[in-house]
Amino acid sequence: MIINGTQIEETFAEAFGMSATRIIITAIDAKWARIAGETMTGFATSVIGCGVEAGIETELHPTQTPDGRHGVSVLLFAMSGKALAKQLETRVGQCVLTCPTTAVFSGMQGEKQIPLGKNLRYFGDGYQISKQIGEKRYWRVPVMDGEFLCEESVARTSAVGGGNFLVLANHQQQALTACEKAIAEMGKLPNVIMPFPGGIVRSGSKVGSKYKSLMASTNDAYCPTLRGLVNSNLDNDIGGVMEIVINGLTEADVRQATRIGITAVCEVGAAGGIKRISAGNYGGKLGQFHFHLREVMA
């Protein structure tokens, strides 16, 4: 399959089942809502080292938030509900509770609940106030700028993490430009995040390492500087490879994001130096979700 001169490789991305949640952070204005969202989703690129993968899903207009202020919705993905709950509590406690003017709300409904304000309320040292409004319980925690308002719990759901595709270009800059275009389009989609810096990964990994202490190491088959040294997957004209990793609430969300992303990259096409689209997998034995690139783009 060739789209606009770019070859779509006959391969598939292998993704995993994860546990996910969505919270809504509001603040006095869009700037502070975004600061809170960015802070709590910092150091959240990969579960391998960060415990959680998180990102801002979208910015919210005051008409879209529970308390009528500017906000952001944040998606968090972890390998288990327990890990998700721990990371959520830590990150909201350290990054949102501390951020001026913020409030936090549940962003999804569901039967499985994890604590949000349920434990954070103890920061109030006994002066916290519970408020039941409708079917939901909120906590009002006294802080130095007034009150931190926090919903008691948030739903979690099963989700899909680790969808991906690789962009192989003549030069590093060409790969980056194409990936930036893809992220711009994918960022408009609901229910997905691309957790790596700017949505783009330059250090794709393989499972295992020559060093026993490492679970993962550089994806040598796609490193241009290792061509001729290892069993490389790169043609001689490939000078830069970048990866976009996609986490979504459902398989369909990841599939759609993959399609939108690859389409955007292919619009740059061979004329822009994009030679090939590939994907990362582990032979299909580790992840239960397989996104065959040619099927996705068909």
Site residues (vs another protein, CB under 8 A) = 66-69, 103, 127, 129-134, 138, 140, 146-147, 149
**3-state class (DSSP) for residue 262:** helix
244 close to 200: Cβ distance less than 8 angstroms? yes
- Between 67 and 235, name the residue whose CB sits nearer to another protein: 67
- Between 82 and 131, name the residue whose CB sits nearer to another protein: 131
- Between 15 and 149, name the residue whose CB sits nearer to another protein: 149
Sort strands 6-8 and 2-3 into parallel, antiparallel or unpaired: antiparallel
For 35, 151, 281, the CA distances from 123, given in Å and listed in that order, are: 22, 14, 44
Residue 144's Cβ-side half-sphere holds a number of Cα atoms within 13 Å equal to: 3
Element (H, E) at 157: strand 153-169
CB of 197 to another protein, least distance (A): 33
- Between 42 and 146, name the residue whose CB sits nearer to another protein: 146
CB of 116 to another protein, least distance (A): 15
CB of 117 to another protein, least distance (A): 12
- Between 130 and 173, name the residue whose CB sits nearer to another protein: 130
CB of 23 to another protein, least distance (A): 16
DSSP 225-247: GGBTTB-----TT--EEEEEEEE
- Between 110 and 142, name the residue whose CB sits nearer to another protein: 142
Cβ count near 285 (within 10 Å): 7
Measured CA to CA, the distance from residue 148 to residue 297 in angstroms comes to: 46
Measured CA to CA, the distance from residue 296 to residue 232 in angstroms comes to: 25
- Between 109 and 132, name the residue whose CB sits nearer to another protein: 132
Structure tokens at 158: 């099963």
Q: Number of helices (H) and strands (E) in the chain: give both, helices first.
A: 7, 17
CB of 133 to another protein, least distance (A): 5
CB of 30 to another protein, least distance (A): 16
Cβ count near 283 (within 10 Å): 8
CB of 112 to another protein, least distance (A): 23
